[in-house]
Amino acid sequence: MTTFVLFGGTGDLAKRKIIPALYSAFVNGRLDSEFKFIGAAREALTHEEFRQRVSDSVNQYAGKVIGGSAEKLAAFLACTDYAKIDARVPEDFAVLKSSLHTSASNATLFYLATGPDIFIPVVEQLSKHGLVKGNARVVVEKPLGRDAQSAKEINQSLRNYLDEHQIYRIDHYLGKEMVQNLLALRFANSFLEPLWNRKWIQDVQISISEQVGVESRGDFYDHTGALRDMVQNHLLQLVSIVAMEPPVNANPDAIRDEKVKVLRALRKFTNEEVSKKTVRGQYRAGAVDGKPVIGYQAEPGVPPASRTETFVAIRAEIDNWRWAGVPFYLRTGKRMASRSAEITINFKPIPYSIFGQSQGPMRSNRLVITLQPEESVQLFMKAKEPGEGIRLSDVALNLDFAEASNLRRVESYERLLLDAMHGDLTLFVRDDELNAAWSWIDPIMNAWQNDSEGLKSYIAGSWGPAAASYLLAQHGAAWGEEYVES
């Protein structure tokens, strides 16, 4: 029997992501028959009132769940209860304990979808009430800390009450189908590995662009910024998977051992390098998809003179034998021209063209792994256009996953929740990974704090500040959308 206790059960993340994911797992028969869901938050709600919120969340955000129906929802709600819990009131945990069936055969998953300041008080109370023994696991949401020091303190405190194997640090990008496919692509095919290094690869680009702004999270976002919100976690996790050495097997620690080596090998920037190798921006009013949108400083919850970045581009380098000298260009931003998450491996150009210069500069081969909006892997090669003479054009060997398989797509939160329930840590972040990621981020953040001039602005609906293009152009490179195909 599995019991799922969701702290922050009335919050935004619960409503948009976690409850719909849980419902989808339920509809698809992935939860055991005695599954129980307890929402926990400070608000005084009856079970019925909470069930109504769960129902609203499913209706609003789980629209695409195949097989969902009013009957299924009623059955899901029948497994759902509510517990009013204030993290600082021990008696509340005693009440929670009385509603849990803690025994060796029962697994309890506590999901902390709250601010990080609540993590330790909650875990301390769970431990004091004997709730994190045996099969209990705890999922903690990002952001885990604000810098290396605070992340270390949180981790140390968590470890006072839990073993590392009980701690599931979630990064929902690791649950995306294509991220795992990247592991398959790299380590289940023979032809890529000989090319996957500095000898054949010119640069790697990882870009996550969003069209949304900060929505209802202005206050949170303004204290966080894009570097902490996206780069420290999602982008660096993608870097570690693209760049890691082959692990000895597919066990969680074998994979995480290799990922952490990459994060440790990321070259740390000096202050001077930060100004040359990073670009930060903030969006002004503009238009996204033809609709006018306000600027960041006018968003609710954001101070009018805010200097928080909503866009980041970085030229990173990995100091090891495989990658020395290969730039990893990282980019993410809100209110950009389109929503996409893409990893592009740009291979080196051919040494010499027998076809002459008449056809203009040729873009070299590239492998493009698209995580969203659609999932695909495309290998762009040069081929001859049909007809007289030789005219070259780009042709993609195209693995379109939506077309290639009609198996059900599992959304990232659902996959990660199920992994946590089954005790699979592969797609969760280990504490040493987190520390290594923060250690690389800290010097950037510190340099930015002391440089009041560095924040550029960009128009909402664009691809970010011009400086982000120059970051690549000065090295003869360009972001994917900047290429004009001849």
Question: What is the separation, in whole angstroms, between the first and last Cα of the chain?
Answer: 60
Rounded to an integer, what distance in angstroms lies between the CA atom of residue 461 and that of residue 286? 6
Cβ of residue 14: shortest distance to ligand BG6, in angstroms?
Answer: 14
Residue with smaller CB distance to ligand BG6, 108 or 114: 114
Kindly write down the DSSP assignment for every residue of 133-193, as one continuous string: STT-EEEEPSP--SSHHHHHHHHHHHHHHS-GGGEEE--GGGGSHHHHHHHHHHHS-SSSG
Residue 458: how many CA atoms within 13 Å on its side-chain side?
29
Rounded to an integer, what distance in angstroms lies between the CA atom of residue 391 and that of residue 341? 32
Feature table: binding site for substrate: 172, 176, 210, 229, 334
Among residue numbers 183 through 212, which ones bind ligand BG6 (CB under 6 A)?
A: 210
Q: Which residues contact 397 (CB under 8 A, 6 or more apart)?
A: 378, 379, 381
Q: How many residues of this chain bind ligand BG6 (CB under 6 A)?
A: 3
Strand order in the sheet with 455-459: 392-400, 376-384, 366-372, 340-347, 201-209, 327-333, 311-317, 278-284, 455-459
Rounded to an integer, what distance in angstroms lies between the CA atom of residue 377 and that of residue 421? 30
Residue with smaller CB distance to ligand BG6, 21 or 96: 21
Residue with smaller CB distance to ligand BG6, 25 or 83: 25
Q: Which of 229, 299, 414, 419 binds ligand BG6 (CB under 6 A)?
A: 229
Residue with smaller CB distance to ligand BG6, 266 or 341: 341
Feature table: binding site for NADP(+): 8-15, 42, 142
Residue 142: how many CA atoms within 13 Å on its side-chain side?
24
Residue with smaller CB distance to ligand BG6, 80 or 340: 340
Q: Which two tokens stand for residue 191?
A: 């032809």
Rounded to an integer, what distance in angstroms lies between the CA atom of residue 366 and that of residue 480? 10
**Residue number of the CB atom closest to ligand BG6:** 229
Cβ of residue 39: shortest distance to ligand BG6, in angstroms?
Answer: 21
Question: Is 165 in the active site?
Answer: no
Among residue numbers 32 through 71, which ones bind ligand BG6 (CB under 6 A)?
A: none
Rounded to an integer, what distance in angstroms lies between the CA atom of residue 102 and that of residue 133? 9
Question: Active site residue: 47, 234, 422, 475, which one?
Answer: 234
Amino acid at 436: A
Question: Which positions from 443 to 482 touch ligand BG6 by CB under 6 A, shown as an x/- string?
Answer: ----------------------------------------
Amino acid at 289: D
Cβ of residue 255: shortest distance to ligand BG6, in angstroms?
Answer: 21
Cβ of residue 224: shortest distance to ligand BG6, in angstroms?
Answer: 8
Cβ of residue 363: shortest distance to ligand BG6, in angstroms?
Answer: 27
Cβ of residue 232: shortest distance to ligand BG6, in angstroms?
Answer: 10
Feature table: binding site: 8-15, 42, 142, 172, 176, 210, 229, 334
Rounded to an integer, what distance in angstroms lies between the CA atom of residue 483 and that of residue 486? 9
Residue with smaller CB distance to ligand BG6, 39 or 213: 213
Question: Which positions from 329 to 348 touch ligand BG6 by CB under 6 A, shown as an x/- string?
Answer: ------------x-------
Residue with smaller CB distance to ligand BG6, 80 or 205: 205
- 141 is a contact residue toward ligand BG6 (CB under 6 A): no
Classify residue 337 by its DSSP letter.
S
Rounded to an integer, what distance in angstroms lies between the CA atom of residue 420 and that of residue 433? 18
Cβ of residue 139: shortest distance to ligand BG6, in angstroms?
Answer: 14
- The contact set with ligand BG6 (CB under 6 A) reads 210, 229, 341
Catalytic residues: 234
